[in-house]
A = this chain, B = another copy of it.
Amino acid sequence: MVAKLEQVRDEFITEWGALGSAWGVNRTMAQIHAYLMSCPEAQTTDEIMESLEISRGNAHSNIKELISWGMIKKVLKKGERKEFFLAEKDPWKIFCLVAKERKKREVEPIIGILNNCIADLKGVKGKEADDFQKQLKDLTEFVEMGDRVMEKISRSEKNILFKWLLKIL
């Protein structure tokens, strides 16, 4: 019966990994997070390597990345020299962490770029330039709104988020 558990775990890991790659997240990174979400206890690098059949280097770099996103935490156990890793398991928290990270990495930079483009177009005459500038302004307005929403989300508690969603639905 334990075999069944492992089988389901592997299925979950595989699918979560595929989902990750659709979201611009490294497949292995998503798989490690999936594996750790499936474990009540913190796991070592070796256990991760064995479960996913990946090399130490690969495991290591993706664990580091997950830590930098705040998706997993390093746990030290007394009497043990190895490091153990524990996943953030609350879907709401995971969502907030991802929103925060993507806001920083993707949304903020694009706002700067759009504003540069708009500034550079000042003084360029003609209908085409005017239309393009209008388009850039519309996009900027939208992205800035998205930015504010993500900011709010990444600072919010689960129950606040939940209330918003209930209003929407």
Contacts of A117 in B (CB 8 A): 8, 11-12
Contacts of A1 in B (CB 8 A): 123-126
> A57 at the A/B interface (Cβ < 8 Å)?
no
- Copy count, this protein chain: 2
> A79 at the A/B interface (Cβ < 8 Å)?
no
> A138 at the A/B interface (Cβ < 8 Å)?
yes
> A53 at the A/B interface (Cβ < 8 Å)?
no
Whether B136 pairs with A165 at a CB distance below 8 angstroms is no
Contacts of A19 in B (CB 8 A): 106, 110
Count of interface residues, chain A, beta-carbon cutoff 8 Å: 60
Query: A110 CA to B145 CA in the complex, in Å?
Result: 29
> A120 at the A/B interface (Cβ < 8 Å)?
yes
> A128 at the A/B interface (Cβ < 8 Å)?
yes
Contacts of A152 in B (CB 8 A): 168-169
A59-67, A70-78, A86-94: which one contacts chain B?
A86-94
Whether B110 pairs with A8 at a CB distance below 8 angstroms is no
Please provide the chain A residues from 80 to 111 with a CB less than 8 Å away from any CB of chain B in the complex: 89-92, 95, 102, 105-106, 110
> A116 at the A/B interface (Cβ < 8 Å)?
yes
9 new A-B contacts at CB < 8 Å, known A19-B106, A38-B135, A91-B142: A1-B125, A4-B121, A4-B124, A5-B124, A5-B128, A16-B110, A22-B105, A22-B106, A37-B139
Q: Which residues of A contact B (CB under 8 A)?
A: 1-2, 4-5, 7-9, 11-12, 15-16, 19, 21-24, 37-40, 89-92, 95, 102, 105-106, 110, 113-114, 116-117, 120-121, 123-129, 131-132, 135-136, 138-139, 141-143, 145, 148-149, 152, 164-165, 167-169
